[in-house]
Homo-oligomer: A and B are copies of this chain.
Amino acid sequence: MQYPSHLIEDAVNAFARFPGIGRKTALRLTLHVLRQDAALAELLGNAVIKLKQQARFCQKCGNIADAHLCNICANPARDQTLVCIVEDLRDVIAIENTGQFHGTYHILNGLISPLDGIGPDQLNIESLVERATTGQISEMILALAANMEGDTTAFYIGKRLAGLPIRISSISRGIAVGGELEYADEITLGRSIVNRIPFGQQGVGHI
């Protein structure tokens, strides 16, 4: 594709390096910058550059932080003996929005994926094992995606934590609340029967 100016071409190339953005979408975003006043260009440009320059990560859980510990790890009201293991920040935000979890997190920053060349060394797994061996953790909850990468990562972490006096659990899978049985896929429905819970014991509070 030929662009009428190298300025357009540079912006399109930059946008197109993001996942899910092809060259046509990149051009649409570039033209939006051109059409809006200069405030939007500076807002985006400075936000992105500052984000990368100034972002710090919590030394405990890997969450993004404004100090050396994140808001959650530094909060004495959170249950510091409970750790929820997640893939990335989006999962933290999703779980925080439920308002039902008052423990802490550990952010792996990805999942083991041999096809993409991502092994355990590239993830925050060593720091997780260190946290587990301090003796201050009572339970770790695996909240990873239910796919091959998530299962592989969960299996690897389970092996690394084996033998430590820590309860290891996994978030429950099953029919969504309000979901119709007839529209559920067979694997989810099958597992929800295998992993059935005694009537009256389903938790509805928060931990």
Q: Are B41 and A52 in contact (CB under 8 A)?
A: yes
21 contacts between A and B (CB under 8 A): A2-B97, A3-B93, A4-B63, A4-B70, A6-B66, A7-B50, A8-B51, A10-B50, A14-B40, A14-B47, A18-B32, A19-B32, A28-B90, A31-B89, A31-B90, A34-B51, A35-B109, A41-B51, A44-B45, A45-B46, A45-B49
Complex interface residues of chain A between 71 and 102 (CB less than 8 A to chain B): 71-72, 88-90, 92-93, 96-97
In the complex, what residues of B have CB within 8 A of residue A70's CB? Answer: 4
Q: Are B5 and A55 in contact (CB under 8 A)?
A: yes
* Bound Cα distance from A125 to B10, whole angstroms: 29
Q: Which of B20, B32, B48, B96 contacts A45 (CB 8 A)?
A: B48
Asked if A11 is an interface residue, CB under 8 A from chain B, the answer is yes
Asked if A173 is an interface residue, CB under 8 A from chain B, the answer is no
In the complex, what residues of B have CB within 8 A of residue A45's CB? Answer: 44-46, 48-49
Interface of A is mostly: helix
Q: Are A55 and B7 in contact (CB under 8 A)?
A: yes
Asked if A141 is an interface residue, CB under 8 A from chain B, the answer is no
In the complex, what residues of B have CB within 8 A of residue A19's CB? Answer: 28, 32
Q: Which of B4, B17, B48, B89 contacts A14 (CB 8 A)?
A: B48
Closest residue of B by beta carbon distance from A21: B29
Asked if A137 is an interface residue, CB under 8 A from chain B, the answer is no
Q: Are B28 and A20 in contact (CB under 8 A)?
A: yes
Known A-B contacts A41-B52, A53-B38; A47 and B10 likewise in contact (beta carbons under 8 Å): yes
Known A-B contacts A19-B28, A52-B41; A1 and B93 likewise in contact (beta carbons under 8 Å): yes
Smallest beta-carbon distance A19→chain B, Å? 6
